Amino acid sequence: MACSDERFDIVVVGAGPVGLSFAASLAQSELKVAVVEQQSLERLADPAFDGREIALTHASIRILREIGAWDAIPASDKSPIQGARVLNGSSAFALCFDPPSGSGEPLGVLVPNCRIRDALFKIVRSHDHARLLCGHSVVDATNSHKGAVMTLSDGRQLTARLLVAADSRLSATRDLLGIGANINRLGNSMLICRVRHERVHHQIAVEWFDHHQTVAMLPLMEGVSSLLLTLRSNEADKLLAFDDDLFLTELTNRCQGRLGNMTLTSNRHSYPLVTTWAHQFWAPSAALIGDAAIGMHPVTAHGFNIGLSGQKQLAHRILTACRDRRDIADPDMLYRYESWLRLSAAPLYYATNLLVRLYSGEHPAARLARHAGLRFGQYLPFVRHGISTMLRR
């Protein structure tokens, strides 16, 4: 039997930004929470720059502000997106997304992933409600309507009324719970780096679907952008192995000089692209949040926003159950959480997958269809305004 200090109301597996935000969302409650993370406490407390810039919607900014994380992120790490352009191949035509006239607000804000993690970690660490169990993984888990029992890699056993998996789109905890998932390994990788460049970006993000590659240029501080290049994984690996001079030459050629001359201002990072959709988002005394539930393709930059809104919904339902003195793992409550997440995320998830298939296809019909699609969207204002409104929610 587990010792008394190994009993918790909730155990969260995974201290990524969604797992930490969930723990932070419960900070004002009396619930006893544990967060289990494979990384060491030192690495969690000082997250390294990993290349990823998170495009936050206004809804996500509100959530981060509510839990105290937004104001903890330095203003110098917040880069507004004043507009977005979508390009196809060598065509000069662009589908444009801009904030509504007179709104005075950007479409969204780019923030480095590591800065979000750092702010959330400090919030969780500052509250007594959560205990961080770092340097350990969950090697076994059983769940029933009576609760969940987990065994850690050091042999310790934890018990909880509710187990919450937030440990990536290839979640080992999800597997231990017996929850299947549609996992699509795309065979592509995203290569990311920061570059300083001679041309002005005007805080406009650019997504360029070219033949056999996708390029995204995300505006950061003046004269600096985050450059994302999506290629077949073997091509990305070759580029990653180039020295800096050869890499920059290749990058400039692939971008067709759109940013002018460039210099590297960060290390290069590469991530294989995998999308996931769990068959269920809950089980008896267990729930999935973040990428463990839904792993989005990054082309629409909405994966973290969906994860953040999902954890807020689950946390709100748990806090309401506490207030009403109901079970925090009530099956009806978890089912309603799952239904909400499916309804809110499914349209964007499947539309994104369709978009990726259309814009990565090299058949002449696909090229014609995507060119026509951009013009269709540009000349039907409700399409552009609808997407812009969604980004600003």
pLDDT tier, 96 (very low <50, low <70, confident <90, very high otherwise) = confident
Share of the chain above pLDDT 90, in %: 74
Torsion region of 226: left, alpha or beta (phi above 0 gives left; psi -120 to 50 gives alpha)? beta
Q: pLDDT at residue 271 above 50?
A: yes
CB within 8 A of 207, min separation 6: which ones?
Answer: 84, 85, 86, 87, 214, 215, 216, 299
Q: pLDDT at residue 41 above 60?
A: yes
pLDDT of residue 391: 46
Sign of the alpha-carbon torsion through 197, 199, 202, 207: negative
Q: Helix, strand, or coil here: 282?
A: strand
Q: pLDDT at residue 28 above 90?
A: no
Q: Give the mean model confidence (pLDDT) for residues 188-195.
A: 96
Q: pLDDT at residue 354 above 90?
A: no
Q: pLDDT at residue 251 above 50?
A: yes
Q: pLDDT at residue 345 above 50?
A: yes
Task: Check: CB of residue 63 under 8 Å from CB of residue 164.
Answer: no
pLDDT of residue 53: 96
Reported as a single tens digit per residue, the pLDDT across 47-63 is: 999 999 999 999 999 99
Helices (H), the chain: 17-25, 41-45, 58-66, 113-126, 172-176, 233-241, 244-254, 303-323, 331-360, 364-379, 381-392
* Residue, of 94 and 291, whose pLDDT is higher: 291
Q: Which of 303, 363, 371 is nearest to 86 (CA)?
A: 371
Half-sphere exposure of 288 (CA within 13 A, CB side): 33
Sign of the alpha-carbon torsion through 314, 116, 302, 349: negative
pTM across the whole model:
0.90
Q: Give the mean model confidence (pLDDT) for residues 331-346.
A: 97
Mean of the per-residue pLDDT values of the chain: 89
Q: Give the mean model confidence (pLDDT) for residues 170-178.
A: 97
Q: pLDDT at residue 383 above 70?
A: no
The residues that bridge with 11 in the sheet, in sequence order, are 34, 163
Q: pLDDT at residue 207 above 70?
A: yes
Sign of the alpha-carbon torsion through 11, 55, 223, 226: positive
Torsion region of 13: left, alpha or beta (phi above 0 gives left; psi -120 to 50 gives alpha)? beta
Share of the chain above pLDDT 70, in %: 87
* CATH architecture of the domain covering 4-49+113-183+275-357: 3-Layer(bba) Sandwich (3.50)
